[in-house]
Amino acid sequence: PSEEYELSRRRIFSNTKELWYYVNSELQSLVKEGDGVKVEHISKIKDIVGEHYRSLLKDITSLADVDGHAVWRQQESENLSNLVQKRLKHLQNPSDCAKARKLVCDLNKGCGYGCQLHHVVYCFIVAYATERTLILRSKGWRYSKGGWQDVFLPLSDTCLLPNGETTNRWPGHRNTQVITLPIIDSINPRPPFLPLALPEDLAPRLNVLHGDPVVWWIGQFLKYMLRPQPATSNKLDEYAKKVKFQKPIVGVHIRRTDKVGTEAAFHKLDEYMIHVEQYYKYKELTDKVDKKRVYLATDEPKLFSEAKRKYPEYEIVGDEDISKTASISKRYSDQSLSGIITDIHFLSLSDYLVCTFSSQVCRVAYEIMNSLHPDASTLYTSLDDIYYYGGQKRRLHIAVLPHEANGPHEMNLLVGDEIAVAGNHWDGYSKGTNLRTKESGLYPTFKVSPKIETAPFASYPDVTL
């Protein structure tokens, strides 16, 4: 398919969703204020519009696969992934480690596992862009004292030591042999190739392949990093058998404890389950669903019994003990590491994800999911944020239809305006700042399209398939 075809198809898909968000949220507020008879009528309308919506989504989704496009997408995704993986392997295995240019990164950022993985991905992206072998210092890791290699394969077979003739802090010079990198929040100067930027040489192909190409890109770094040690693999296989992990299954991640009220709002189990229900109704348009399953991952152990009590028609898969270890007091131990690796792994293997993107646990699962499918950019519902990368440069929208503000909360758009996006309110509107007028406010999401940003990265001309 051409880029024009793929972008139009995705636009119709996402605007169908936006139309549903709008109608659903308007009808919902009518239900809240309506009297008895009206409420019944409105609920009926909501159900029927919901049926229209799912049928439309199904038809648009089938357009992605016809005329050999599914086969093409699978092949293109494999080719691109093989190319990137080969480049990473080449970068990480220099023939002479004593002379190699290196970038040193400390795993021990003082935060959770998801946050630390994102920290390493950021280091790896800088290493890739500047063509330096990434050296990960991980001894004394808060999750496993022996370090990264306790659970995952080392990032290199030939080069793990940070030594060199000259060492300097970022940015150093091209000929400084070893450069140490601070965390993304304090990198200075900020290079142009941090997320959400894509490498110029791959961007045109990624833009045809994927609905949110930067997620695919980040997924490729995780794919390389998270190659499990045999013992880790075995544990995951055993766990899959123990909990009877089977498809269809929807991954639900519910982040509570220390996150709620500080970095994210509280959401009830029912708010997640509405989207799980939606997913299965959608699925039942084409497939017979023998059993509705949910893979539940959470740091709030009580949710297992709540889910089983309130949703008896579901099979709730997961492990309450993992959740107990995850709850705040025992968080950083070998045991909690094995729990979070397990939860992220099975969330990423699920058919669909329902979670809050304010949590790095769910964003990592989504990124990994996108390394397992040619394009899994539509296989999630986030109850709060849109996808972002901590420390990223802004996400941009570009107006494709003009908009005249409908009240003080909205802003004007002219075609071609660039908007720095703050978030989607999941009611048909997004919030952002118009870079031309400097105005901030709401605008209808269907009047914009995503803008892809690119940057010059090292292009590895000698590494080809």
Provide the binding-site residues for ligand GDP, judged by CB under 6 A.
111-115, 253, 255, 259, 297-299, 322, 326, 331, 336, 339-340, 343, 359-361
Q: How many CB atoms lie within 10 A of CB 233?
A: 11
Q: How far is the CB of 425 from ligand GDP (least distance, A)?
A: 21
In the complex with ligand GDP, the residue whose CB is nearer, 18 or 343, is: 343
Q: How far is the CB of 234 from ligand GDP (least distance, A)?
A: 19
Q: How far is the CB of 419 from ligand GDP (least distance, A)?
A: 26
In the complex with ligand GDP, the residue whose CB is nearer, 83 or 369, is: 369
In the complex with ligand GDP, the residue whose CB is nearer, 106 or 343, is: 343
What torsion, rounded to 10 degrees, do the Cα atoms 373, 374, 375, 380 define?
0
Question: What's the token pair of residue 277?
Answer: 């229900």
Q: How far is the CB of 296 from ligand GDP (least distance, A)?
A: 8
Q: How far is the CB of 389 from ligand GDP (least distance, A)?
A: 12
HSE, CB side, 13 Å, CA atoms: give it for residue 110: 0
In the complex with ligand GDP, the residue whose CB is nearer, 131 or 271, is: 271
In the complex with ligand GDP, the residue whose CB is nearer, 102 or 259, is: 259
In the complex with ligand GDP, the residue whose CB is nearer, 179 or 349, is: 349
Q: How far is the CB of 346 from ligand GDP (least distance, A)?
A: 10
In the complex with ligand GDP, the residue whose CB is nearer, 77 or 116, is: 116
In the complex with ligand GDP, the residue whose CB is nearer, 344 or 421, is: 344
Exposure class string for 74-104: b at 16+ Cβ within 10 A, else e: eebbeebbebbeebbeebbebeebeebbbbb
In the complex with ligand GDP, the residue whose CB is nearer, 311 or 388, is: 388
Angle between helices 36-63 and 3-33 (to 10 degrees): 170
Q: How far is the CB of 127 from ligand GDP (least distance, A)?
A: 22
Q: How far is the CB of 144 from ligand GDP (least distance, A)?
A: 12
In the complex with ligand GDP, the residue whose CB is nearer, 115 or 458, is: 115
Give the residue at shortest CB distance from ligand GDP.
112
Q: How many CB atoms lie within 10 A of CB 418?
A: 16
CA distance 289 to 186: 49
Q: How far is the CB of 268 from ligand GDP (least distance, A)?
A: 16
Q: How far is the CB of 400 from ligand GDP (least distance, A)?
A: 33
